[in-house]
Amino acid sequence: MSTSVNAPLELYPLHLGRYDESRDVTGRMRAGWRDLLTRLQNMAPKALNQRLAWIDHSLQENGVIFRPHGETESHPWLLDPLPLILSSKEWGVLAQAVAQRARLFDAILADLYGPQRLLTQGLLPPALIFGQHGFLWPCFGLRPVAGVFLHRYAVDLVRSPDGRWWAIADHTQSPVGLGYALENRLLVSRVFSEAFRELQVQRLAGFFREMQQSMATWAPVEPGEQPFAVMLTNGPSDPTYFEQAYLARYLGYPLVEGQDLTVRAETVFLKTLNGLKRVHTIARRVPDENCDPLELRSESLSGIPGLLTALRAQRVMVANVPGSGVLESTALMGFLPAIATSLLGEPLKLPSVATWWCGEAPALDYVCKHLDSLVLKPAYPGQDFPTTFGPALGETERARLLERIAAQPHAYVAQELITPSLAPVFDRRNKGRLEPWQVGLRLFAIATPQGYRVMPGGLTRVGPIERLPLIPMRRGGATKDTWVLTEGMVESLTLIKNRLGPVDLVRSGKNLSSRVVENLFWFGRYCERMDVAARLLRLMLLRVVDVDEVHDHEIESLARIGVELEILAPTQADRPLLQRMLDTLFGLEEENGVLRSIQNVLRTAGQMRERFSADHWHSLNRLQRSLQVRRDDLSDVLEGLDRVVMLSASIAGYSFDNMTRDPGWHFLVIGRRLERLTHLCRTLARILDDPDSGRLGGLDWLLELTDSLITYRSRYSRQAEWLPLLDLILFDATNPHAMAFQVRSIGRYLSVLDAEVPLGPEVGETALPNLERIAARILAFDPMRLIALDRESAVALRTELEALLQAAYALSDALSRKFFSHIEAHGHQTLGI
Amino acid sequence: MVRYRVEHTTRYEYGGSVILSQQLAHPSPRAWPWQETLNACWQLEPEPSWRHRGFDAFDNPVEWFAYYLPHTELHVHLSLDVAVHAHRPPCLEGGIDVHTLRERLSYHGTQPLPEDVVAQRYAFESPHIRIKRELAAYAAECCPPDVPVALAAAALMHKIHEEFTFDPTATTVSTPVMEVLAQKRGVCQDFAHLMIACLRSLGIPARYMSGYLLTQPPPGQPRLVGADATHAWVAVYAPGVCDHDWIEFDPTNDLLPDTEHIAMAYGRDFSDVSPLRGIILGGGDHRPHVAVTVTPWSDFSEEGPDISG
């Protein structure tokens, strides 16, 4: 589905009783909108079409996905190209109000985790705080670095018909959306680049620079230390992992998981290839209660045991401080005006939607009488109660709900329903038309030493009018870029380095975590495995399509290799070979099957997504779709395999052409070489075991499998024979598919690595010399014996190849023991009674 | 007043080498109006890589310690001398009734009593405590609105003691309270959790108390249940009863603790006061061997036990 237009844009009639973002009540277009829409109307439909299609294409290519809370499926991120435009005057007021609200929440956190005067003065009901699982008692009394509890804050706003903005939800734990807002901006500003410049839209990069600077300024460094920040993620299973990887790359912070960090004597360290490196600042995207399994929620072992001791000692800064989620309760909203007066001595500038906490008798009374015009929410986040719309309730549901509220009034909160404003959205069905969708706006603030700063932009979410509940992130909703106009000069700056030209896959070797290195090693191995599997199946299928006697024999030889390499299921009486091939191709049963290998490549890549450039990621994304073919159409299947082989080459190309040669890269390449070496050993050992191989129809298929046919032909212009063939794929160190080449590369890369990260005795003095010694024996094999390759010679060579294979496995194990995770990633809980 | 020597040993012999271990312990009793700590000797073996003393959110003394080098065992030994004064309230009548307490604790937008705010820390759900209609229903007959809170709690304690069976095989440290209610079996920790959950479901604040019991009772008295391990009981918020705000109840033994209970710490539930909790990397099998003995000084020689170490 793509957005496109055939005719000049057509605006919808104004809706009575709704604020329209683009036009005032007289139908006159508001500042900024006029310029943008006129420009679009004057644009040739074809040109506009192209730009709109480019957005959809880019989102898909960049793999921008989103998984709504509580759902298992990811959805593509939908971006409506028309931005929401806010005037500089309106923005000034709004930004101040959001900054004040952030300041207020920071002060509330400091009070709740300290003197709790808000409770003793009666400004907040203790039930609303102590009743929440989100109030973390182990954090009570904690004084964070610089006294800042709330580093990042986001608020969801809607605009009522009279044009005022109202806060409907606050995000104080680890707000989601900054990365998505950035991605939206990059695409929309590129599509409408002329209008973007002309309208003097405020840039976002300054906001992120301030975020980096604040984190660096406050970092609790010791004299001589450089501040070091990381972004803490739950890993690829997190619904917003895309955004986390995106932001980490944008800010230049390593993306780490709990098991990558360790606490030693109140100090947090990252486990890197070069040992422990001190971490001063953690931008966290894991939930409050998962931060420290020692003191918080011990069922979740994914956090960092001891983190709270480092926080108490002010040896690390965590943004936001664990326990900040307690403020996400909707029920707090009604108490904010009085708290603002008490804590800040100022009236609250950004009003919340009218809110009634049912724990108060008069509020309960009101809610029971006016249920039909209210929306009901849980007072405690995480409570088992869905947002419920009063107007949508039937008679019995209504009665049941009232009963439920009466049983535990303090667990419920009601809010006024606001009719949100409308903004034009490209109609995805009737091309060329704009339709009005409801608008929700998420704004973001960060703490800086100069006070809270609000990002001049935001994440605008839109949804169709007919859906009463405004939940546009779900299926059917979309997002928009948010343009804040300015009257002065626009600051132009970008932190993004990866849009133009070739870029590095790994940006810095110094802070490589052991986990990333392990992933790179396996990424290298899986890429090779995928390549071999795809090649083998392609060779077989080509011969199935083009039937002749020689081919039949070759298919059998290839099938034996396939089974040996665990690419193909073993022979089964009731399953014809073609069926086995197709099952293998599209199924996951074989350890090294094509689809399985593709998934392994994508999985390992996904674990270190922040390390891949956009272009590199495009290839990986295409890989995911490469086998979406009609299974009953062999030519379609073959095309799919062609795509896999091509993408495999392009991914390898990126790795070799665009990656800095840091230790991580060396592990990737060593992984790839080791994998190729094992395939070669297994393949040849299998063939040598089978005296019939090569008798009928020759060994051309083996040359094809090892991608050495062209070289062979150019050298010998005749059918494959044992001696020249073995010379090419075993002894020729210039052939990147030869055994000699693999062993030599492995030795060379390991010795380069040794200079930066010492290999240690197991790798350097045992495993590697052993591999090289066996390879040298093979290289010294008497060529005369290879000419006819009698039985005895074949067995002798096979034995050596099998020894080489074991040596390769041993080297891989030794590397993994030395450099990767040494023991299980997560700890166990122990309890003494 | 009675003086005791408590010996509490926890011994881990790990199935494999532990390469990293982070621990949190309650190494000595908090200050109680009725109990003095004469000596608290807390020993760790091997010596940890790092250790730090402090207080938890509820003001109980805690010690954080950690091992950064491989080790195969951990011995924790607490040797404690305390003097416990009689403090059982002479009567449970009087004091605030259930309805008035609930009314006093509900929010009216006015300034509450400071002690009521503190009491409400123990009035809601916590990791081991649920607030459920079933729990409120179980306790309802014991706690009519017009009955004094302390009497209501005593009735609930009797009911639990009457209807539940002490059975160390029925539960583990993490058995949910709703399961305890359903199977009507458990140990002191379960009964304490259940009583607390019932009271909180009715809006009455209640604390989890942890400590020890006299191992061998004086001649002629029965041995108390749960004496060979750490013990758990309950303190209920009942302002106005004989100068006490919090009254202790031991549902496992159906009595009001006096001089045979040695108190260590209190919190919302077991998770706040567990004697020793940790996260280890490696280690294989890691079930601890725990031994507790509580001996009155009168069993030692005239001068009392050697308290030099």
Q: What is the DSSP secondary-structure string of B197-223?
A: HHHHHTT--EEEEEEEE-SSPPTTSPP
Helix, strand or coil, per DSSP, at residue B64? strand
Q: Are residues A777 and A787 in the same domain?
A: yes
The pLDDT assigned to A132 comes to 92
Give the mean pLDDT of A519-533: 92
- Residue A114 touches partner B, C-beta closer than 8 Å: no
Q: Residue A430: pLDDT above 90?
A: no
Q: Are residues A282 and A312 in the same domain?
A: yes
Q: Which residues of B touch A408 (CB under 8 A)?
A: 131
Q: Residue B157: pLDDT above 90?
A: yes
- Residue A823 touches partner B, C-beta closer than 8 Å: yes
Instruction: Please report which confidence band the pLDDT of residue A500 belongs to, taking 50, 70 and 90 as the band edges.
Output: very low
Give the mean pLDDT of B91-109: 91
Q: Do B279 and A125 touch (CB under 8 A)?
A: no
Pairing of strands A355-357, A374-378: unpaired
Q: Residue A412: pLDDT above 80?
A: yes
**Pick from A659, A694, A717: which residue ends a domain?**
A659
Distance from CA of A262 to the nearest CA of B (A): 9
Between CA A169 and CA A184 the distance in angstroms is 22
Give the mean pLDDT of A658-663: 80
CB atoms inside a 10 Å sphere around CB A73: 8
Q: Residue A217: pLDDT above 90?
A: yes
Q: Do B281 and A823 touch (CB under 8 A)?
A: yes
Instruction: Please report which confidence band the pLDDT of residue A265 belongs to, taking 50, 70 and 90 as the band edges.
Output: very high
Q: Which residue has the higher pLDDT, B59 or A468?
A: B59
Out of B54, B66, B117, name the one closest to residue A119 (CB): B117
How many degrees, rounded to 5, is the angle at CA A776 between CA A759 and CA A761?
20
> Which of A315, A360, A514, A833 is best to mutate for the B interface (most B CBs within 10 A)?
A833
**Per-residue pLDDT reduced to its tens digit, B25-71:** 999 999 999 999 999 999 999 999 999 999 999 999 999 999 998 89
Distance from CA of A256 to the nearest CA of B (A): 19
Q: Which residues of B35-59 are buried (b: 16+ CB within 10 A; e: fewer)?
A: bebeeeebebeeebebeeeeebbbe
Per-residue CA distances from A563 to A237, A346, A571, A581, A686 (Å): 33, 75, 8, 11, 10
Q: Residue A92: pLDDT above 70?
A: yes
Q: Are residues A137 and A86 in the same domain?
A: yes
Instruction: Please report which confidence band the pLDDT of residue A824 belongs to, taking 50, 70 and 90 as the band edges.
Output: very low
Q: Which residues of A touch B171 (CB under 8 A)?
A: none
Share of chain A above pLDDT 70, in %: 90
Average pLDDT of the residues of chain B: 91
Instruction: Please report which confidence band the pLDDT of residue B308 belongs to, taking 50, 70 and 90 as the band edges.
Output: very low
Which segment of A188-192, A737-741, B121-125, B301-305 scores lowest on mean pLDDT? B301-305
- Residues B292 and B11: beta-carbon distance below 8 Å: no
The pLDDT assigned to A793 comes to 87
- On the 0-12 / 13-18 / 19+ scale of CB atoms within 10 A, B24 is buried
- Residues A427 and A68: beta-carbon distance below 8 Å: no
Q: How many CA atoms lie within 13 A of A187 on its CB side?
A: 28
Q: Are residues A489 and A577 in the same domain?
A: no
- Residue A768 touches partner B, C-beta closer than 8 Å: no
Q: Do A830 and B280 touch (CB under 8 A)?
A: yes
Out of B25, B282, B288, name the one closest to residue A823 (CB): B282
Comparing alpha-carbon positions, the chain A residue that sits nearest to B116 is: A120
Distance from CA of B1 to the nearest CA of A (A): 27
Nearest alpha carbon to residue A551 among A709, A364, A696, A755: A696
Mean pLDDT is highest, among A520-524, A795-799, B162-166, for B162-166
Q: Which residues of A touch B271 (CB under 8 A)?
A: 298
Structural domain of A573:
512-659
Count A/B contacts: CB-CB distance under 8 Å: 135
Q: Do B64 and A306 touch (CB under 8 A)?
A: yes
Q: What is the 3-state secondary structure (H, E, C) of B238-293?
A: EEEECCEEEEEEECCCCECCCCCEEEEEEECCHHHHCCEEEEEEECCCCCEEEEEE
Q: Residue A594: pLDDT above 80?
A: yes
- What H or E segment, with its residue span, contains residue A216? helix A205-218
Out of A122, A305, A360, name the one closest to residue B22 (CB): A305
In a domain, A184, yes or no: yes
Q: Which residues of A touch B24 (CB under 8 A)?
A: 294-295
Comparing alpha-carbon positions, the chain A residue that sits nearest to B51 is: A265
Helix, strand or coil, per DSSP, at residue A305? coil
Pairing of strands A229-233, A255-257: parallel
Instruction: Please report which confidence band the pLDDT of residue B155 belongs to, taking 50, 70 and 90 as the band edges.
Output: very high
The pLDDT assigned to B236 comes to 97
Q: Are residues A200 and A266 in the same domain?
A: yes
Average pLDDT of the residues of chain A: 86
Tell me, what DSSP letter sits at residue B16? E
Distance from CA of A394 to the nearest CA of B (A): 25
In a domain, A224, yes or no: no
In a domain, A669, yes or no: no
Q: Do A266 and B57 touch (CB under 8 A)?
A: no
Q: Do B111 and A827 touch (CB under 8 A)?
A: no
Pairing of strands B61-67, B2-25: antiparallel
Out of B109, B279, B288, name the one closest to residue A294 (CB): B279
Share of chain B above pLDDT 90, in %: 75
Single-letter code of the amino acid located at A730: L
Comparing alpha-carbon positions, the chain B residue that sits nearest to A301 is: B279
Beta-ladder partners of A447: A452
Distance from CA of B19 to the nearest CA of A (A): 9
Instruction: Please report which confidence band the pLDDT of residue A69 belongs to, taking 50, 70 and 90 as the band edges.
Output: low
Residue with tokens 């040598």: A688
Distance from CA of A521 to the nearest CA of B (A): 24
- On the 0-12 / 13-18 / 19+ scale of CB atoms within 10 A, A725 is buried
**Per-residue pLDDT reduced to its tens digit, A629-656:** 888 888 888 999 999 999 999 888 888 8
Out of B19, B109, B125, name the one closest to residue A133 (CB): B125
In a domain, A94, yes or no: yes
Q: Residue A106: pLDDT above 70?
A: yes
Give the mean pLDDT of B267-280: 94
Pairing of strands B61-67, A451-454: unpaired
Cα torsion angle, A471, A477, A481, A483, sign: negative
Which segment of A147-161, A211-225, A494-508, B80-94 scores lowest on mean pLDDT? A494-508
In a domain, A503, yes or no: no
Q: Residue A274: pLDDT above 90?
A: no
Nearest alpha carbon to residue B173 among B28, B281, B288, B266: B288
- Residue A293 touches partner B, C-beta closer than 8 Å: yes
> Which of B124, B175, B268, B276 is best to mutate for the A interface (most A CBs within 10 A)?
B124
The pLDDT assigned to A826 comes to 63
Q: Do B22 and A306 touch (CB under 8 A)?
A: yes
In a domain, A751, yes or no: yes
Out of B109, B133, B278, name the one closest to residue A122 (CB): B109
The pLDDT assigned to A579 comes to 84
Q: Which residues of A touch B289 (CB under 8 A)?
A: none
Which residues contact residue A221 at a Cβ distance below 8 angstroms, ignoring those fewer than 6 apart?
A: A227, A280
Instruction: Please report which confidence band the pLDDT of residue B139 belongs to, taking 50, 70 and 90 as the band edges.
Output: very high
User: pTM for this one?
Assistant: 0.84
Q: Are residues A14 and A102 in the same domain?
A: yes
> Which of B8, B10, B14, B22 is best to mutate for the A interface (most A CBs within 10 A)?
B22
Instruction: Please report which confidence band the pLDDT of residue A785 belongs to, taking 50, 70 and 90 as the band edges.
Output: confident
Q: Which residues of B touch A312 (CB under 8 A)?
A: 54
Q: Are residues A298 and A322 in the same domain?
A: yes
Q: Are residues A185 and A195 in the same domain?
A: yes
Q: Which residue has the higher pLDDT, A333 or A610?
A: A333
Out of A127, A141, A833, name the one closest to residue B124 (CB): A127
> How many domains, in total, are found in chain A?
4
- On the 0-12 / 13-18 / 19+ scale of CB atoms within 10 A, A292 is buried
Q: Are residues A325 and A183 in the same domain?
A: yes
Q: Which residues of B touch A141 (CB under 8 A)?
A: 57
Q: Which residues of B touch A266 (CB under 8 A)?
A: 50, 52
Q: Are residues A155 and A282 in the same domain?
A: yes
Distance from CA of A520 to the nearest CA of B (A): 24
Distance from CA of A398 to the nearest CA of B (A): 20
Distance from CA of B123 to the nearest CA of A (A): 8
**Pick from A391, A416, A441: which residue ends a domain?**
A416
Tell me, what DSSP letter sits at residue A15? P
The pLDDT assigned to A221 comes to 95
CB atoms inside a 10 Å sphere around CB B191: 28
Comparing alpha-carbon positions, the chain A residue that sits nearest to B103 is: A361
Out of A130, A265, A408, name the one closest to residue B121 (CB): A130
Instruction: Please report which confidence band the pLDDT of residue A66 belongs to, taking 50, 70 and 90 as the band edges.
Output: low
Distance from CA of A827 to the nearest CA of B (A): 4
Between CA A79 and CA A59 the distance in angstroms is 8
Q: Which residue has the higher pLDDT, A687 or A767?
A: A767
Helices A514-545 and A791-819: angle between axes, nearest 10 degrees: 150
The pLDDT assigned to A329 comes to 92
Q: Which residues of B touch A269 (CB under 8 A)?
A: none
Give the mean pLDDT of A376-381: 90
**Per-residue pLDDT reduced to its tens digit, A544-587:** 887 776 677 788 888 888 888 888 888 877 778 888 888 878 87
The pLDDT assigned to A1 comes to 39
In a domain, A236, yes or no: no
Cα torsion angle, B255, B258, B263, B268, sign: positive
Which segment of A84-88, A253-257, A624-628, B297-301 scores lowest on mean pLDDT? B297-301
The pLDDT assigned to A471 comes to 47
In a domain, A20, yes or no: yes
User: From the CA atom positions of chain B, what is the Rg in Å?
Assistant: 20
Q: Do A294 and B24 touch (CB under 8 A)?
A: yes
Between CA B31 and CA A61 the distance in angstroms is 64
Q: Which residues of B touch A302 (CB under 8 A)?
A: none
- Residue A137 touches partner B, C-beta closer than 8 Å: yes
Domains of chain B, CATH where assigned:
2-85+273-299 (2.60.40.2250), 98-257 (3.10.620.30)
Out of B52, B110, B290, name the one closest to residue A122 (CB): B110
The residues in A 257-286 lying below 8 A from B, measured between CB atoms, are: 262-266
Comparing alpha-carbon positions, the chain A residue that sits nearest to B53 is: A309
The pLDDT assigned to B244 comes to 76
Which segment of A76-80, A221-225, A353-357 scores lowest on mean pLDDT? A76-80
Q: Are residues A584 and A615 in the same domain?
A: yes
Q: Are residues A163 and A102 in the same domain?
A: yes
Instruction: Please report which confidence band the pLDDT of residue A407 belongs to, taking 50, 70 and 90 as the band edges.
Output: confident
Give the mean pLDDT of A308-331: 96
Give the mean pLDDT of A250-264: 90
